[in-house]
A and B are shown apart, each in its own frame.
Chain A
């Protein structure tokens, strides 16, 4: 199993540009989560999907952030326009049948907005 695959691993962009982060969950996992990690705030849940449907997006910081999951094997997190305070490591995680099985995290995308 290749695990949860995220791309790109690193992204450097200028303020105001659109950024798209991508995630491929583990095959057979039906829940997908997007987290953001910073030194100040730790790991914060942004949004999660169950069976491709967004369940809770209360952690999405602003309307500049949007996420989609068009099918069971792909999800995107988009920031438009990006700002320097969006700089962080963004993780995607997946699991089967909800919380009880624990998440499997991807390796993350380190985003730097200059």
Chain B
């Protein structure tokens, strides 16, 4: 069964304290690994798509990387406005659907 697991469930950082979020996946026929950001009361917002092991993508203080079994979202020198829940998801097989992990809730304190 296709599965996506994120860790940790929650992460508290001081402003400027870099860290990484983990997304482990088991899926047959990976069709992309997706990262989303979700703010309270809003829908998830698309951040990145990664397709092959070794691929990396960056956006401001965020960098996503992909291996054959997991993806990392590295947050460099975070700011309070980076506080949100970060979700990863995998595309599976030839369908259009995404399977989401439970998310990591990040809180960055000033």
Residue numbers of A with Cβ under 8 A of B are 4, 31, 33, 42-43, 45, 48, 50, 55-56, 91, 93, 95, 98-100, 102-108
Contact = CB atoms under 8 A, between A and B. Distances in A.
A30 B70 CA distance: 30
Contacts of B91: 99-100
Interface of B: 31-32, 34, 41-46, 49, 87, 89, 91, 95-103
B102 A103 contact: no
Contacts of B32: 99-100
Contacts of B49: 100, 102
A42 B101 CA distance: 7
- The 6 A-B pairs of least Cβ separation, nearest first, read A105-B43, A99-B91, A43-B100, A102-B46, A98-B96, A42-B102
A25 B46 CA distance: 16
B35 to A, nearest CB: 9
A72 to B, nearest CB: 15
A91 B87 CA distance: 15
A42 to B, nearest CB: 5
